[in-house]
Amino acid sequence: MKIGFIGLGIMGKPMAKNLLKAGYELLVYRNNRAANELVEAGATSADIPEIGGSCDLVLTMLPNSPQVKEVMLGETGVAKYMKEGSIYVDMSSINPVASKEIAAALAEKKIEMLDAPVSGGDPKAIDGTLSFMVGGKQEIFDKCEPILKAMGSSVVRCGEVGAGNTTKLANQIIVACNIQALSEALTLAQKAGVDPQLVFAAIRGGLAGSTVMDAKAPMILSGNDKPGFKIDLHIKDLNNALDCAHSVGSPVPMTAQVQEVFQWMHNHDGGQKDHSAIAQYYEFLTGIELGRE
């Protein structure tokens, strides 16, 4: 199967490399330095008409709904060149309403679609252990599952198109609120005179422990805000979550609150930092440096 891949950013580049390692024939959009790196690893550089016209499967990993719509459905978009019966899998994290709109437009061209956003950040993208949350027809999922498993350790079909991104929004709410709670708790510990490093060691194996805690507490306590997942991207995801929640009438007060803290970080030059840097909001309020005094 010939696969086209568009979107070679922090996540997309290592995901594409894992497809090459698994032996898939890969065409990458020739638009940046990352594409050259993939070519050196065995991919073929191609333009949009070639990707659309020659690939059985097209994958995208893009920032948000407008970019996905433009790349797929724009005047010179990929869908213009795709063959009947080909498959499109969007691995971007976008509004599920947009996923359904794109799927409907592609269905008119007899092109199948899955929405398959991921969770795990760049470390899991690199080692091929991402979690995929997938929406779409069962038979199309069955065809694509082995390909997704070349990039992830968990691939779960959650329902029809749109269900993948709805699940991803739920994931992003939980991750954001978890990081904020972790930041508040470690701040409380240090303000009360208890070493937050020891608090982390003591509670990580109990009920409060989580994958988020294990990944983000060490970053918070060392002051490492190098982005694995940027605050600005999490703002985008929570905006989509709020829009979706408002449209279906679901209350999301915790999401709204953590979004305000993320927005404060963005407004104070923190948008390009890792989302664990939300702890710096509490450091600003208290004047302490968590775990580093």
Q: CATH homologous superfamily for 2-161?
A: NAD(P)-binding Rossmann-like Domain (3.40.50.720)
Q: Taking phi first (over 0 means left), then psi (-120 to 50 degrees means alpha), and beta for anything else, what does residue 57 get?
A: beta
Which is it for strands 25-29 and 2-6: parallel, antiparallel or unpaired? parallel
Instruction: Please identify which of the residues 13, 17, 100, 168 carries the catalytic annotation.
Output: 168
pLDDT at site 293: 60
Give the type of residue at 92: S
Using one digit for the tens of pLDDT, what is the confidence trace for 144-175?
Answer: 999 999 999 999 999 999 999 999 999 999 99
pLDDT at site 228: 84
Domain boundaries 166-286, corresponding CATH code: 1.10.1040.10
Evaluate whether 113 touches 88 at the Cβ level (below 8 Å).
Answer: yes
Evaluate whether 176 touches 275 at the Cβ level (below 8 Å).
Answer: yes
Show the low-confidence residues of the chain (pLDDT under 50).
Answer: none
> Would you state the structure tokens that stand for residue 17, as one six-digit string?
């490399």
- Which residue intervals of the chain bear CATH 1.10.1040.10? 166-286
Q: Would the pTM count as exceeding 0.75? A: yes
Q: Residue 113: which H helix or E strand, with range? A: strand 112-115
pLDDT at site 181: 98
Which is it for strands 87-90 and 25-29: parallel, antiparallel or unpaired? unpaired
Interacting residues of 206 by C-beta distance below 8 A, sequence separation 6+: none
Say whether 143 is catalytic. Answer: no
- Which residue intervals of the chain bear CATH 3.40.50.720? 2-161
Q: Taking phi first (over 0 means left), then psi (-120 to 50 degrees means alpha), and beta for anything else, what does residue 23 get?
A: left
pLDDT at site 84: 96
pLDDT at site 292: 81
